[in-house]
Structure 1
Amino acid sequence: MTSHAQIDPIVQFGAEGLPVVSLYVGVEPDGSLKNEGEVRTRLNSLLDPVRSMDKDHSLDREARLSIRGDVERLARAYTEERWPAGMMALFSCSARNFFEEVSLPRSIRDRVVVDSTPWVRPMLAVLDEYHRMCVVITDDAIAQVWDLYLRELREVWQSRDPALRKPDYAYGRAEYGVRNKSGELAKRHYRRVVEVLTDRFRDGGFDVLAVGGHQHEVASFIEYLPRELRERVAGTFTVDANTATAGDVRRAAESVMEQYEQQEERGLVAGIAEAVAERRRAAFGLDTCLWAGTVSAIETLAVEEGVEQPGVVCDRDGWMSLAGEACALCGEPVRATTDVIDELVESVMDDGGSVRHIRFDTELRDHAVGARLRFPLPEKPAA
């Protein structure tokens, strides 16, 4: 499971002046030998320009040797490890004994970059689309904490604290004392669970929280959450902490996640629509958003899931349009593309913007794309 513990060392890695090779390569779902050969061919093709750097004497000897080691390590990576379908991001600096692989859930363009630091922006842009959910199931004595991320569920902590089996068995003054004792034990238990959740949240362990249990116990537990966690509660569900299976937890947690993401996506599109209506910094429609992407104006791009559109791109200055033979900015011939929306997505990620693929029914269906903008758009030149 992709985690902060895996991502953080990549983001923070320093090569101390040596080159780092960052490579992104797609892996199709088909596991046939033909597909394996196709992946290897693309991998080697991506590495060809890096191989030529081994003979670049403007680089010092240590850098050239490091790049040579990177190419060898990256070339054999697919053979040594069975990559899952999707996208693989690989980072290598052999002179510093640094090599990391990250499986991404969505495909982006194949490419390779050699720089002084790992090129992590595409990886982070993809991962930012997916929420990491912490799932806690609790009653007044039992607690289970799970991670749900990229549809993988993993139990990370569990506890069983002391509790009175039947706090209402006593009578008179004894009943009052027993109930007090039961309440104190439950408070102690809930506070312990909250400490675990708070530590995980502050360490970057999750974005949103789902709470399960019996209805009255869920309500009691939420009262103990500090505001920073209470604001992260995406939803609650009813389940018995003593008998819940991993399958029960998965079904309930995925239902909460689905509802949360639906609400979030609709909120994003509604916010863009409102800003467009009020003539604030936002845009609807492919033509306008392509121009916004060309001038690096997009802060957040919303894309209708599965939509494609042919168009043209200028590789010299990044101009994108639905049609044309020459770039409106430089006059150079343009390159035809089968999906200019994919080009726009890649451009936004390269510019440090975020991208959300909208799966649910929203106003975006009439526009294909929408965007929140960093600044008002300049006048678009005639094609």
Structure 2
Amino acid sequence: MRNLKEALGILLKEQYAPYLVSSLYLRLFPEDRVNKKYLTIFKDMAKAQKENLKHRKLDKEVHDSVLEDFEKMGEFLSNPENLEGCRGIALFSCSAKDTFVPIKLPYTYRNRLMVAPDPLVREIAAIDEELGIIGVLLIDRKHVRFFLMDFENIGEVADFLEPLATRAHKFHSGGASLKGAEGTFTYSMPSRVAAPNMVQHGIGEYRFNMRIQEEKYRLFKIANDALMEAWKKTKFDKLVIGSEREDIREIEDHLHSYLLNILVGYVGLNPSEATEHTVRNAALELLWQKDREQEEELVNKLLELKGKGLAVEGLSKVLEQLYMGNVKTLLVAENFESSGYFCPNSHIPVLNPECPLLGEEPYPVEDIVDETIELALDERAVVEIIVREDLQKKFDGVGALLRWKI
């Protein structure tokens, strides 16, 4: 499978007119893979899109090309080997132009299948920006490993046993703005021989415990130095710490203030047993859970700011603000759907069969929420999907935090 830069290059250099491009975003979490649930979801979306095509008055060649797109996507998704090592997939197809490009994703906003004049890649760009570069530190009593990961890749930068760094690897990034990280960490350790006026460690329980504490603090200090050294070479945006130590949170007393500010949380991983695959999955799962924890804060903020004229809820009001470019953050309940219309020339969703351009004829769609998300991404708004069902009931399907007061 091509890397992200190559895939986007192929998609964006092609001229597709008068044909259309089918764009699919499909979630592939473990629960979605049970009994190939994702395949059923795709087939349902394809069936709905086939109904939409009947209202678009397409030429036969254009219509047939889209139907062939759906067949190719179904065949691709039917092979589990094509879906390994990802938590989401994006597929772009224009059969008439012999274009079929899959892109593995760390996650997707929600399941979407759309047919448009161009490939809808804005969600990929948004996810890449949101994810940024993540540093993952693994640590136990003696062993420290450090990884850098981004949208599509993960690479081990350092692996050493206290007190000396033993090796380092080059990290080849996949994001457009990411640079390779390379280097060797070298640390000078205090002499193991005590000074003449120092009392040597004895066998007593107190001295034994003090020695353990000393080793812990020294290792945490070394880990901080390693992280700062790595940050100087590659300015990672988030930090995840993995360990099975019960006292691991004490490392925060030794971290630089910048590292504390970007610390996302902790995962249970053993440095000696962890692989790049398990490290990546654990980090992505932590980020997903943190995002779920922020849902309540976002919904409460929506309800609070609505009374101050800085937020709206309900599809009609949200669309009105999107038309004006006034949406800073779009909140969408994961299970919310609403029928409406889409204007093919102005590329906007509408609730009524009326388009802003004179002579433009909209076509009906079963769910215009997908197009609403795409319009928000086009306006550089942040998209937040509310997954918790209890929070979905607190607002009217979609809501928006606004850029300016209304």
Distance 1:357 1:129 in 2: 14
Contact 2:348 2:371 in 1 (8 A): no
1:89 and 1:226 mapped to 2: Cα distance? Answer: 43
1:315 to 344, 363, 380: 344
The answer as to 2:210 corresponding to 1:207 is no
User: Which residue of 19, 23, 26 corresponds with 2:24?
Assistant: 26
Aligned pairs for 1:129-278 (under 5 A) are 133-146=134-147, 156=156, 157-162=158-163, 173-175=199-201, 179=211, 182=215, 186=219, 189-195=222-228, 197-199=230-232, 202=235, 204=236, 207-220=238-251, 222-237=252-267, 241=271, 253=283, 256-278=286-308
Q: 1:268 is paired with a residue of what secondary structure?
A: helix
1:296 aligns with: 325
Q: Are the structure 2 counterparts of residues 89 and 83 from structure 1 closer, same or farther at C-alpha, using a change threshold of 3 Å?
A: farther
Q: Using the TM superposition, give the Cα deviation of residue 83 of structure 1 relative to its aligned residue in structure 2, in angstroms.
A: 4.7
TM-superposed CA distance for 1:162, in Å, is 3.1
Amino acid at match of 1:367: D
- How many residues end up aligned between the 2 structures? 326
Query: 1:303: how far off?
Result: 0.6
Contact 2:91/2:101 (8 A) holds in 1: no
- State the match for 2:178 in structure 1: none
Q: Which residue of 2 aligns with 1:351?
A: 379
Are the aligned partners of 1:302 and 1:357 in contact in 2 as well (CA < 8 Å)?
yes
For residue 103 of structure 1, what is the amino acid of its counterpart?
K
Aligned to 1:362, what secondary structure does the other structure show?
helix
* 2:90 corresponds to 1:87: yes
| Residue segments in structure 1 that go unaligned for 5+ positions in a row | 50-73, 92-98, 378-383
Check whether the contact 2:313–2:399 (CA below 8 A) recurs between aligned residues: yes
Give me the whole-angstrom Cα distance separating, in 1, the residues matched to 2:233 and 2:148: 11
Tell me: CA distance 1:325–1:262, structure 2 relative to 1, closer, same or farther (3 Å): closer
| Contiguous gaps of at least 5 residues in structure 2 | 27-35, 51-57, 63-71, 95-99, 165-188, 193-197
Q: CA deviation at 1:181?
A: 8.0
Q: Following TM superposition, by how much is the alpha carbon of 1:159 offset from its aligned partner in structure 2, in angstroms?
A: 2.1
- Contact kept, 8 Å, 1:132 with 1:148, in 2: the verdict is yes
Instruction: Give how far 1:148 is off.
Output: 7.2
Pair 218,184 (structure 1): closer, same or farther in 2 beyond 3 Å: closer
1:194 corresponds to which letter in structure 2? L
**Cα 1:353/1:188, change in 2 over 3 Å:** closer
- Cα deviation 1:32-68 (Å, max 9, x = unaligned): 9xx8xx9xxx9xx99x78xxxxxxxxxxxxxxxxxxx
- 1:287 counterpart = 2:316: yes
- Structure 1 Cα separation of the partners of residues 217 and 339 of structure 2: 65
Q: State the alpha-carbon separation in 1 of the partners of residues 349 and 401 from structure 2.
A: 18
Q: Which amino acid aligns with 1:158?
A: D
Q: Distance in 1 between matches of 2:91 and 2:131?
A: 16
Cα 1:119/1:342, change in 2 over 3 Å: closer
Alpha-carbon RMSD: 5.5
C-alpha distance after superposition, 1:209-240 (max 9, x if no partner): 244342334413x2332222211212235666
- Aligned equivalents of 1:27, 1:259: Cα separation in 2: 21
How far apart, CA to CA, are the structure 2 residues paired with 1:298 and 1:109? 23
TM-superposed CA distance for 1:123, in Å, is 2.3
